[in-house]
């Protein structure tokens, strides 16, 4: 008897026909894109073009007016838990709580996402982001760039395959921008995917494309 090998499944995001209206303004329609392991997509457009709206839609935080978002070929609404387990969203503000220390922000953020983070792993992530000696400081005493680094440390402690990053380079100095590019590059080389917005030119290597919203 012939035996059939199961098809190799690979993680993939694809979106088709997405549309969004906010207030009385149509921001975009017929937006299509796909991400396979190792791919990245930079969403571009002027202020107010709808970049954040699109990212929030991909993360299920904003209602889809039209279109479909699929994870491994299935509508994300049908594989909600699986999709959420593979998704890491870092928004504009980075979800940093001012009264918590850098370390607490990282560990409690992970716990809210359903995983327990080993303190040594969290500390190592903060150190890689250049926050050695700042782990125990309340976030309100950190600079804007340092708060951003605390938020970005989540990238190092998460196992999510799909990173959705809204303006991840904002407030970072030149070395931190290089470091973040290296971290995203490592993620892509190990089969991850990244969907991001940035007003600056981004080069994360092969496997990248851009998508422009608006005129
Ligand atoms: N809740 C809301 N009600 C009405 N309009 C909204 C709402 N939220 C956002 N908008 C509008 O939607 C438009 C797109 O906002 P969005 O944040 O997606 O743009 P963006 O491309 O990310 O902009 P930027 O580059 O400035 O970050 C803006 O004109 C904004 O005012």
> Alpha-carbon distance 149 to 141, whole Å?
13
pLDDT < 70: residue spans in the chain: 1-11, 94, 215
Atom of ligand 1 nearest to the CA of 56: 18
CA 93 – ligand 1 centroid, Å: 15
d(CA 130, CA 128) in angstroms, rounded, equals 5
Q: Which helix (H) or strand (E) is 208 found in, with range?
A: strand 208-212
Give Dmax (Cα) for the chain: 69
53 lines ligand 1 (CB under 6 A): yes
Q: What is the pLDDT of residue 96?
A: 86
pTM of the entire predicted model: 0.91
Both tokens of 64, joined, read 């889809």
Region of 67 on the Ramachandran plot (φ > 0 left; ψ -120 to 50 alpha; else beta): left
pLDDT at 5: 52
Distance CA 57, CA 51 (A): 10
Q: Quote the pLDDT of residue 201.
A: 87
């Amino acid at each position: 008897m012939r035996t059939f090998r199961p098809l190799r499944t690979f993680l993939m995001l694809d979106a088709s026909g997405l549309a969004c209206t906010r207030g009385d303004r149509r921001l975009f329609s017929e937006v299509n894109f796909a991400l396979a392991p190792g791919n990245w997509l930079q969403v571009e457009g002027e202020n107010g073009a709808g970049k954040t709206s699109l990212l929030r839609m991909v993360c299920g935080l904003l209602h889809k007016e039209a279109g479909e978002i699929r994870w491994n070929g299935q509508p994300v609404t049908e594989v909600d838990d699986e999709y959420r387990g593979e998704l890491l969203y870092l928004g504009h503000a980075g979800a940093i709580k001012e009264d918590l220390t850098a370390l607490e922000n990282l560990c409690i953020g992970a716990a809210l996402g359903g995983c327990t983070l080993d303190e040594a792993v969290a500390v190592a992530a903060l150190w890689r982001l250049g926050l050695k000696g700042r782990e125990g400081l309340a976030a309100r005493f950190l600079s804007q760039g340092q708060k951003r680094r605390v938020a970005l440390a989540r990238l190092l402690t998460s196992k999510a395959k799909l990173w959705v990053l809204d303006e991840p380079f904002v407030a970072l100095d030149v070395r931190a921008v290089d470091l973040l590019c290296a971290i995203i590059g490592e993620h892509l080389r190990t089969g991850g995917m990244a969907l991001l917005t940035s007003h600056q030119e981004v080069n994360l290597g092969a496997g990248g494309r851009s998508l422009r919203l608006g005129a």
